[in-house]
Structure 1
Amino acid sequence: MSSRAIVVDAPGAHRLVTGERPEPGPDEVVVRVAAAGICLSDREVYDGRRDSGYVRYPLTPGHEWAGTVEAAGPGVDPALVGRRTVAEGFRACGRCERCRHGETSLCAGPYAETGFTHAGGFADHVVVPARLLHLLADDADLRAAALLEPAAVVAAAVRAGAPEPGERIAVVGAGTLGLLAVQLVSGYSPRELTVIDPRLERADLALGMGATESLTPEASHAERGRFDLVVETAGAPSTAADATLLARRGGRVVLTGMFAPGATGIDPVHLSLNQLTVRSVFGASSAAWSFAVRAYAAGRIDPAALITHEFPLERYADALALVGGGDPTTGKVLLRP
């Protein structure tokens, strides 16, 4: 059986290759990919802007994907074949102290992640350890399920922020992470749920997903110091510092954006005097993945509402160009092998 894959040989250079379908090794499965999402980190890989410790070329990218198990390797329950599924990206060792404590996203082993150090989902098939699977319902929408990776990151942030009913909550950024955060946080019945983004089109989407108010960054200055919880999702140069200014005294801030060197620093005097709790999120633990999958199964999040474009593998370059292109009407872009 043949199988196609996008291969990024080096920054700025890619090709579509066709070969034999990969075979699963011991404790592995082969998944036929139904849909794979493209995010800004995939642009970083292609443009050569990802830290060299977090990518290995040549590479088949794709860390946001969903599909159906097509083959099971030695040691894997054959009943998994035919099941719809997603899988955790981090290939945690499962043995270190942090893994044993359940914090698999803090694994002390060498960094390993599907789509960055191991072949990912921009292909007809992807091979992953069976232990990383999170099975879906037989009728699950695999287009929507391709967004469960960013949903798991958001789940990690929401769990860290511990929202409570009746709180004032702000979400900074209305991209994929921000809109999924709005959907999850709205389920906690906040008194106010404010979304902050300079793109009016994105803010309008947030209002339709549970936000009670949208503000531009400039307008949000008047709201500083009044939010119980601030979930930052934008990763822009100033948004980490801005998020701490939005929180009330004794409030909580969770940072999920991927910041570049040179981002505005957080004022330690402000943190100290206002007794803020600041958490950060990079990826998602197994528990956060389980949370996101359960929320999806229960209808608490609707990832499909974020999808605006779908392309075949042959149009990978066109799809990639849309991501980070600046068009506020572009939401989640999918590849459909």
Structure 2
Amino acid sequence: MSGGPARSRAITVDRPGGHRLTDGPVPQPGPGEVRVRVAAAGICMSDREVYDGHRDPRYVRYPVVPGHEWSGVVEAVGAGVNPALTGRGTVAEGFRSCGSCERCRSGETSLCTAGYDETGFTRPGAFADHVVVPARLLHPLADDADLRAAALLEPAAVVAAAVRAGTPEPGERIAVVGAGTLGLLAVQLLAAVSPGELTVIDPRDERAGQALVFGASEALSPEEAAKVRGRYDLVVETAGAATTAADACLLTRRGGRVVLTGMFAPGATGIDPVHLSLSQLTVRSVFGASSASWSYAVRAFTAGLLDPAALITHEFPLERFADAVALVGGGGPGTGKVLMRP
């Protein structure tokens, strides 16, 4: 087992609205685990929910070190782990799936029945100098991988889950609702399957313009999109706004497919069951990503089909966590992905 610095810092959220920068011993990996030196960690709305106290209590355990979108370099390995991993750039799945329940054995690791357990929510995450994770969850990267960009592979894996669920085919008409981080990553992955049309729907001109750069053929405002209802073979919803689940179903042709990836708040507009049944829609939802979806995202990243670095607009050291988290969900149109850089 390799050595390391004597101390390790971490952002600890003791309770909603309260955090501190802690400084303690470097964590040591146990059997089957690795310690990773964090290179970069992204902040998303789920982290903001943890900080504000708005996350469902079933999906967070205070005190917690947040940070579930991250990349880094394996610094030390525990007993039973291949020492050749030391020095490798890597990302890792967040869900601590058990690997033995019926769902895990079927490959649906994001549906593990052993109970919810996720790095950054119930286990210490990567808003820290180091993070310790099971080695079986690692997805090692190419030697020349951009670790700054790789911090976005967790949301890319969620998008990969949505794309896999939507089964896009070449030549289809596809729409993406929302041009945030998930939406822009979805555009990149969907562009790779050569759709006949790839439309992005977002009220923000700047984000819509970026989607065109990433391969979208058209960008519409929600008002413009309301005029083309029933057009698309596949609609991937990424916004999680009050009406976007219902809107996605209305945009889809009869017999088409809808995949919901946004995180909706209570009170969101429901999907009309009459429209759903008469239109014979297939509706899927995505929460997190399976191991297969992680592999899909990492392969796409390695092949150059994903350019996550272009989504990064702000970077902060751990000492400025309060400034960083304030930007997420409250920033202007120029705020994209916000990174912590320990």
TM over 0.5: yes
User: 2:7 and 2:142 mapped to 1: Cα distance?
Assistant: 28
SS at match of 2:94: coil
User: 1:212 and 1:105 mapped to 2: Cα distance?
Assistant: 32
Equivalent in the alignment of 2:88: 83
SS at match of 1:249: strand
Equivalent in the alignment of 2:158: 153
1:200 Cα deviation after fit: 0.9
Q: Map residues 233-312 of structure 1 onto 2, 5 A cutoff.
A: 233-312=238-317
Aligned length: 337
1:328 Cα deviation after fit: 1.0
SS at match of 1:316: helix
Choose which of 56, 62, 70 in structure 2 pairs with 1:65: 70
Cα deviation, 1:282-321, whole Å, max 9, x if unaligned, reads: 0000000000000000001100010001111111111111
Q: Does 1:56 align with 2:57?
A: no
Q: Does 1:323 align with 2:328?
A: yes
Equivalent in the alignment of 2:226: 221
SS at match of 2:222: coil
Q: Map residues 24-43 of structure 1 onto 2, 5 A cutoff.
A: 24-43=29-48
Choose which of 179, 183, 187 in structure 2 pairs with 1:182: 187
Equivalent in the alignment of 1:94: 99
Unmatched runs of 5 consecutive residues or more in structure 1: none
Choose which of 99, 105, 109 in structure 2 pairs with 1:104: 109
Q: Map residues 138-149 of structure 1 onto 2, 5 A cutoff.
A: 138-149=143-154
- Aligned CA-pair RMSD: 0.5
User: 2:322 and 2:228 mapped to 1: Cα distance?
Assistant: 41
User: 1:327 and 1:281 mapped to 2: Cα distance?
Assistant: 27
Choose which of 11, 14, 20 in structure 2 pairs with 1:9: 14
SS at match of 2:239: coil
Change (3 A) 1:326 1:238: farther
Q: Which region of structure 1 is more displaced relative to structure 2, 324-333 or 1-10?
A: 324-333
Equivalent in the alignment of 1:194: 199
Equivalent in the alignment of 2:208: 203
User: 1:329 and 1:174 mapped to 2: Cα distance?
Assistant: 12
- Opposite residue 217 of structure 2, the aligned amino acid is T
1:137 Cα deviation after fit: 0.8
The TM-score, its normalising length taken from structure 2, stands at: 0.98
1:22 Cα deviation after fit: 0.2
User: 1:84 and 1:14 mapped to 2: Cα distance?
Assistant: 29
- Opposite residue 309 of structure 1, the aligned amino acid is H
- Opposite residue 258 of structure 2, the aligned amino acid is V
User: 2:169 and 2:25 mapped to 1: Cα distance?
Assistant: 51
SS at match of 2:284: strand
1:190 Cα deviation after fit: 0.8
User: 1:284 and 1:135 mapped to 2: Cα distance?
Assistant: 17
1:326 Cα deviation after fit: 4.1
User: 2:167 and 2:74 mapped to 1: Cα distance?
Assistant: 34
Unmatched runs of 5 consecutive residues or more in structure 2: 1-5
